Every structure is written in C-alpha cells, then in structure tokens.
Amino acid sequence: MPPAPQYPSFAAVTMFVLGLLIVLARASQAMFEDSEESDERADAESESRVPATGAARIERHAETGRTRAERIEREILDGDEADADPWSDEAGDSSPWGDDEAETDARRARERASDESGRATDERGREQEQVAEGRDRPTGEREQPTREQNLDFSTGALLTNVALSQGVFGAVIVAAAWLAAVPLGALGVEVGNPWNVGLPAVGVGVGVGVALYLANELSAKAADTADVDYSEDLREALAPDTLRGWAILLAVVLPVIAGFEELLFRAALVGAFSAGFGLSPWLLAVFSTVAFAIGHGAQGPGGVAVTGLLGFALAVAFVLSGSLLVVVVAHYVVNALEFVVHEGLDIEWV
C-alpha cells in the first residue's frame, strides 16, 4: 500500500523555494535598476562635461572668434608668410630673381608653414572628435562603466547561473514531491496517456505556445504604447553571440527554465495544492499568476503585467488539459520565439 501523501510538507518546501525565487528576482531587478541609473547618470555627466571641457579645449577668442588651434595656425602662417614673402619689408631689398638663397629660404618657410598648418588642423580635428564623443574628461576622472560592466556578468555566466539555479530549484521540488509521496497525477503527469505525456500533448503545447507568443507580443506593444516601462535587459543580457551559445540556450537553458517554472507555478501551486487541500484550481491559478508575475519583476511594471497575463494563460491551459507537458512545451515555445525573433533575427514585427 503506497504511503499517504504528505501535502503539508510538500507545500512547505514549495513555498520555501518560491520565496527564494522571489528574493533572487528582486535582487536581479535591483541590479538592473542600478545599472540603468548608472547609465543615466553617466550620460548626464557626459553631457554636462562636454560644453565645459569643450569650451576649455576649443575656446574661441573673444576678439578674433578663432579657436586656440586656429589661432596657432594663423600665427604660424602669418609669421612664416612674412619671412617667406620676397616683397615684404623683412626680406629687405632682395629680388626673387636675383637672390637664390632668398628663394630657398622662402620655399622652406612655405613648406614649414604647410606642415605646421597640417598638424594644427589634425590637432583641432582630434579635439573636436573628443568633445563630440564625450571622451574629453578632466585629468584623473575615470570613464563611467557601461551597463555590461555594471552587471559584471558575461552572457555565458548568466546562462550558467540561470540554468544551475533553476535546475537546482526544480530538483528540490521533484525530491520534495517524491519524499512526500505526491501522486504524479496531482502534478499533471499521467503515464500512458498520450494526450498528457505523449506526442499529441507536445503538439497541443506547440500550438498553445505559438498563440501565447502572439498574444505576448501584442501585450508588450500595448504596454509600450501606454508608455509603461517594459524592460528587455535580461533577455538581451542572456542572448548569446555565438552559434554554440545559441545551441546551449535553446537546448539546455530554456528547457530548464520552462520545466522548472511550470513545475513550480502550475504543477505544484495549482495541481498539487488543489489535490491536497481541496482548493479551487481557478483560485490557485490566480495565486500562481501573481507569484509568477512578481518573480519577473526585473522586466519592469509593463513586464510584470505582460508576464502575469502569460502566467494566467498557462495556468488556464494546465487546468483545462491536466498536462504538465503541454504547458512546459508552450512556455518553451514562447521563450524560444522571443529570443530567436528579437535577439537572433533582430526583428520587431509588432
């Protein structure tokens, strides 16, 4: 006789994992918010510095209206032209036709003036480029870090961190369900039912996933139109730069994310809690949706709203199908299409 399910113990472990996940989500949100503030502060400081340092570097003379480099160039040309002019007073009474030495001196002076003019022009060009690019900083001031430097994570490190953390959390949920003798049926797994764990379930999941992806894109567009902050920083940070990175993302990281999140938010919080405590699955769907949305706080208010709608749709699909595989596949399809379309193909079709 199988042991009686220990739903309270399983619920305690599930809520502990949920709490840890929300704490990590809040930490990620704070990290990205600090990064954005740092970027904005760096941009503001760069803009405020350009006029001051630019004025110091290419300050125009109040009387002549020329920059320092232009004045140097003019002074060189004026001085050398005076020396090189065979008809000037400085050249004396010598004639260009009667004095080879004077001609030679004049030619050399012109060449020297041309060289100095070129150097002055190059210097002015470099100075103006530095001002335009905001690189002209007071001595001792360090360049502001970029967002990637602020995050202090490479794409590979982020992918590894996400896969390991969510994989470990998923393993904890599975172990807790096994130790608490929670029936597989309560988690949405019915062995032998092809519409629950077979290819038909996969097909249903793909169809649901494509539909939810389209709805997700329209919801994100609506949030953007309403000027509600929808951050894509996390997705951009996770997007690989190499073919090998994309293979790891699509074949390992995204399946782990979809599997863990559906196991926690749908199978455990909706299926097991409904079976173990006699609660309405629709009420639990609302609860899991709120928790799912909070867990994606790093995407901003718009991201929380859009993710909440997606979470509720997945909860509805789970309740109606009774299949964990259906919602795992659907979740994976949504995430994979978002990465491939936006980050891989760089398409903004909405």
Number of separate domains in the chain: 2
Q: What is the pLDDT of residue 235?
A: 84
Residue 90 has pLDDT above 90, yes or no: no
Domain end residue (candidates: 79, 99, 133): 133
State how far the Cα of 322 lies from the Cα of 304, in Å rounded to an integer.
26
Please name the residues in contact with 334: beta carbons below 8 A apart, sequence gap of 6 or more. Answer: 209, 212, 213, 216, 310
Residues 270 and 180 in one domain: yes
Whole-prediction pTM value? 0.68
Domain end residue (candidates: 133, 165, 190): 133
Give the pLDDT mean for 205-224: 93
Q: Does residue 142 form part of some domain?
A: no
Residues 230 and 273 in one domain: yes
> Domain range holding 126?
58-133
Residues 15 and 62 in one domain: no
Q: pLDDT for 256-269, tens place per residue?
A: 999 999 999 999 99
Q: Please count the other Cβ atoms lying within 10 Å of the Cβ belonging to residue 38.
A: 17
Please name the residues in contact with 290: beta carbons below 8 A apart, sequence gap of 6 or more. Answer: 308
Residue 193 has pLDDT above 80, yes or no: yes
- Higher pLDDT: 286 or 300? It is 286
Written as six digits, the tokens of 60 are 């125009």
Confirm if 304 and 296 have CB atoms less than 8 A apart.
yes
Domain end residue (candidates: 133, 166, 191): 133
- Higher pLDDT: 177 or 154? It is 177
Residues 109 and 231 in one domain: no
Binning pLDDT at 50, 70 and 90, where does residue 162 land?
A: confident
Q: Does residue 316 form part of some domain?
A: yes
Q: Does residue 50 form part of some domain?
A: no
Q: pLDDT for 130-161, tens place per residue?
A: 555 554 445 444 444 444 444 345 777 778 88
Residues 31 and 62 in one domain: no
Residues 188 and 286 in one domain: yes
